[in-house]
Amino acid sequence: MLRFRHALVALLLGCVCFGLLGLRQATAAEAKKPNIILIMTDDQGYAPVGRHGHPWLKTPNLDTLYDTSTRFTRFLVSPTCSPTRSAIMTGRHPMRNGITHTILERERMTLNATILPQVLHEAGYKSGIFGKWHLGDEEPYQPHKRGFDEAFIHGAGGIGQAYDCSCADAPNNKYFSPTIRHNGSFVKTEGFCTDIFFTAALGWIKEQQEANQPFFAYIATNAPHGPFIAPEKNAKRFTDLGFTPEQAGFYGMIENIDENMGQLLAKMDEWNLFENTMLIFMSDNGMTGGGSGRMGKQMGTLPDGTPMYPYNADMRGLKGSPDEGGVRVPFFVRWDGHFESGRDIDYIAAHIDILPTLADLSGAGLPENQVEGRSLLPLLKNAKADWDDRFLFTHVGRWKTGENPDDSQWKKFAVRSQRYRFVDNNALYDMQEDPSQTKNIIDQHPELVAEYRKIYDEWWKATRPLMVNETAEMSPVRPFHELHRKQLETTGIPDWQPPKL
């Protein structure tokens, strides 16, 4: 009997130890899930990066990231802001999220979608957004209601913007010391907006790192979106070279972004994040034609007398165009010890691929009947991975409210495959032989054009029922204005306390 008791105790202890061992193993496995940091700038586009051949812009920290990353050389997004942001959140084309504009209630991402932070939550991640949301300013559409654990944002599509609809930032907001909505309440900050967004993000990242909590940090700057205002120290170099204040603001904001990228990289090194964090840098659409300067017109002169002209990497089109220059952006992916530094991937990839890639990385499942993109992990891990060609669809949208979208089906659109770009139903370009789109070869390939038209028409007809905002009534109030007024009358607007880094 005694032997039986000893044997039973030994068995129970063994079970307990085995259970604890399994728990330790599970905890260790959980801890190994890589963190994710996604930085997306606003209206920067592909060209304004030193390593992309820019002749005078100085971006030493982005150049370092370029050198240490795997780069997608043909990463394609949407021609404007909200559409790209919604594709990242859902893994499907923006128009299938209801987004056909950037204002007038047509920037609101459908509530009938499971979005990225909700997907990552299933895999044990905490998510934070810092900067620009632009997917609905009404309360049900706000990020703190849609899965983000930390939301530190401005409203509308830019700081200080306001339209005759729900899309509006806090009243009278400015780039310097803006009022920010932090987890549903307004706070007053001090400093330049980009510096503030990066500082807030770094503080939150530090908290997650100290708690050994896998995290997704989404840093979406409103810079270098207009109005083109940069800190004086960043703008002065350009005004001294003869740039207009607007141009100096645009390029100064990019150099300020680069400085913040330098601080981020330094903190990641200090906090030992590089080996367990996937870092992505991108922009939301092609380079703006505003502060970037007028193509072909001299902007200033370098000290050695060299004239300076706007640079767009020899691409046709800018922001708002269905051509390559309207949708091609940087896409640098760094994860030390996992992805090869200094490698280019030339396959076309897109914003719709981000959610399935991050779900694959984290081990999360995909929302049912929603995701159209592909995980890019096979290409990131293996340069020789099998990769089938596919079609990517672009439509600028932005028809007038109340118009029949079908009247705009064959206007301002493009179909892109690995080799060709079919644009506006009247142009076909061989993007391998002619990446600058200088020669329209539509008359040489009638069978190919017929195929592209058929594929696009089928895509449009499947997309049309999902454009759920087309009949939306304009909101009679601006939610950020109303919420700001109520808070001002009750608790007031407290000062935001920057984290200690």
Can you tell me the mean pLDDT for 409-422? 98
Residue with tokens 């206007």: 411
Kindly state whether residues 248 and 127 are assigned to the same domain. yes
Q: Would 10 be classed as within a structural domain?
A: no
Residue-wise pLDDT for 76-109, tens only, equals 999 999 999 999 999 999 999 999 999 999 999 9
* pLDDT score, position 141: 98
pLDDT band at 7 (very low <50, low <70, confident <90, very high): very low
Closest by CA to 121, choosing from 236, 21, 33, is 33
Q: Which residue has the higher pLDDT, 63 or 17?
A: 63
Dist. CA 395–CA 382, nearest whole Å: 32
Amino acid identity for residue 182 in this structure: H
Q: Would 263 be classed as within a structural domain?
A: yes
Query: Residue 100's CB: how many other CB atoms inside 10 A?
Result: 25
Dist. CA 83–CA 94, nearest whole Å: 5
Kindly state whether residues 201 and 274 are assigned to the same domain. yes
Kindly state whether residues 162 and 310 are assigned to the same domain. yes
User: Within 13 Å, how many C-alpha atoms sit on residue 430's CB side?
Assistant: 9
pLDDT band at 6 (very low <50, low <70, confident <90, very high): very low
Q: Would 240 be classed as within a structural domain?
A: yes
The answer for residues whose C-beta is within 8 angstroms of residue 475's C-beta and 6 or more apart is 105, 138, 165, 166
Handedness of CA 293, 296, 297, 301 (dihedral sign): positive
Tokens representing residue 27 in the block:
């905890």
Kindly state whether residues 283 and 417 are assigned to the same domain. no
Can you tell me the mean pLDDT for 446-461? 98
Dist. CA 461–CA 409, nearest whole Å: 10
Q: Are 466 and 95 in contact (CB under 8 A)?
A: yes
Closest by CA to 108, choosing from 132, 144, 136, is 136
Strands 392-395 and 277-283: unpaired
Q: Structural domain tally of the chain?
A: 2
pLDDT band at 32 (very low <50, low <70, confident <90, very high): confident
Kindly state whether residues 351 and 405 are assigned to the same domain. no
Can you tell me the mean pLDDT for 441-461? 98
Tokens representing residue 37 in the block:
């940091």
SS3 75: strand
Kindly state whether residues 264 and 333 are assigned to the same domain. yes
Domain CATH number, residue 89: 3.40.720.10
Q: Would 24 be classed as within a structural domain?
A: no
pLDDT band at 23 (very low <50, low <70, confident <90, very high): very low
Furthest C-alpha separation in the chain: 99
Domain CATH number, residue 456: 3.30.1120.10
Q: Are 389 and 395 in contact (CB under 8 A)?
A: no
What is the C-alpha radius of gyration for the chain, rounded to an integer number of angstroms?
A: 24
143 preceded by a cis bond (ω within 30 of 0)? no
SS3 321: coil
Percent of the chain with pLDDT over 90: 91
Q: Would 483 be classed as within a structural domain?
A: no
Question: Which of 21-30, 38-47, 112-121, 247-256 shows the lowest per-residue confidence on average (mean pLDDT)?
Answer: 21-30
Length of the chain: 501
Range of the domain at 452: 392-466
Dist. CA 190–CA 123, nearest whole Å: 36
Q: Would 318 be classed as within a structural domain?
A: yes
Domain boundary among 322, 357, 381: 381
pLDDT band at 8 (very low <50, low <70, confident <90, very high): very low
Kindly state whether residues 268 and 160 are assigned to the same domain. yes
* pLDDT score, position 419: 98
Dist. CA 119–CA 183, nearest whole Å: 20
* pLDDT score, position 383: 80
Kindly state whether residues 400 and 367 are assigned to the same domain. no
Can you tell me the mean pLDDT for 192-209? 98
Closest by CA to 156, choosing from 90, 254, 85, is 85
Q: How far is CA 353 from the centre of its chain?
A: 12
Kindly state whether residues 338 and 459 are assigned to the same domain. no
Kindly state whether residues 227 and 186 are assigned to the same domain. yes
Kindly state whether residues 166 and 280 are assigned to the same domain. yes
The answer for residues whose C-beta is within 8 angstroms of residue 497's C-beta and 6 or more apart is none
* pLDDT score, position 397: 98
Can you tell me the mean pLDDT for 138-142? 98
pLDDT at 123 over 50: yes
Kindly state whether residues 400 and 374 are assigned to the same domain. no
Dist. CA 345–CA 196, nearest whole Å: 33
* pLDDT score, position 22: 42
Dist. CA 231–CA 253, nearest whole Å: 8
Cα separation values, 342 from 34, 61, 260, Å: 21, 15, 22
Q: Would 475 be classed as within a structural domain?
A: no
Q: Would 353 be classed as within a structural domain?
A: yes
* pLDDT score, position 144: 98
Can you tell me the mean pLDDT for 363-367? 97
